Structure 1
Amino acid sequence: MKGIMIRKIIVSLVLALIAPFILKLALNKVLAGITLASGSTLAESLSTLPNAGAIYTIVALIFFAIAFASALAAPTRRRRNRSSGTVVESDVDDGRERGMVKWFNVKKGFGFITWDDGEDVFVHFRSIRGQGHRSLTEGQRVKFMVVRGQKGPQAEDVSVVRS
């Protein structure tokens, strides 16, 4: 998230630095045809202002504020939105038990499933069908086989049931 914010700031700064020059070019084209009573064009008069640097600085700050505010408002892609390696299946009777994920700690790689008969069953990430990053989310419906582990029932061959 920190890297995304830095990128937004850099893009906003680049736009703010370029914007006054683009604005000047555009205004010169538009204002070149307007002649003042003194005989000079409006574009020439504006370019000789004593505080033109301050005007460009103000324009740059305004463009920075607009660019940065719009960058903050734009949604960012998060890595968490990537699909996991967990297999999702339709709810077809294949002889496996059914239950709901009680909790699953992604960092530790284990959690518990509440079996439809009410008992809690331990689940380890290696028991989840799929490849790569396999995890479960609290409240997901799952299918699994039950084996008796050293500390009680343990889920094997776990897959998420498509709702």
Structure 2
Amino acid sequence: MSRSLNSLVSAQLGWNWRDEQDFALLADDNRLEYRFALASGTGAGRADAVWYVPGDALAQGVARRWTLTALPRSVFGGQITQSFAAIKALLLLNRAESGGLLVLGGDTETPWWGPFGAADQTLRLPPGAALLLSHAGIGWPVDAQTCNLRLKAEGGAVGYDLALIGIAA
């Protein structure tokens, strides 16, 4: 049986705003939505690999390095390794309710910096925050020199979920 992956990437921000000024009711009900589907395959607008880690945790000050060319994955009691050549979507959730920031990026050894401007740049997710990064085209490349994704807990412990969709190496 051949490998197949169909995926959907989406985010939405909606609002219902009301204000009364000079005896007039102002209203704005709207939303901004972003979504795209990736068909199975390896070109632009396609993906053939998925990897995720639900419910992982980091103690205060602890960092974890995920090597995008050798990600462990448990399947039906066995272990396989997922290797990416490109990342098309990354979803990161900081499950902490208070305290800890979840810092993404800034690895010191072969950092993956696809969506960042430079290898040492980071993003900080406060408790309860979510981050979706996507590149529906060719994706952000991954290779032996740019393969380490770093997560670190600052200011307290964090729990997190991480999911990646992309092209298998």
Does the pair score TM above 0.5?
A: no
Q: Which structure has the bigger radius of gyration?
A: 1
Q: Which has the higher strand share?
A: 2
Q: Which has the higher contact order (CA 8 A, sep 6+)?
A: 2
- Given the two structures, how large is their TM-score scaled by the length of structure 1? 0.18
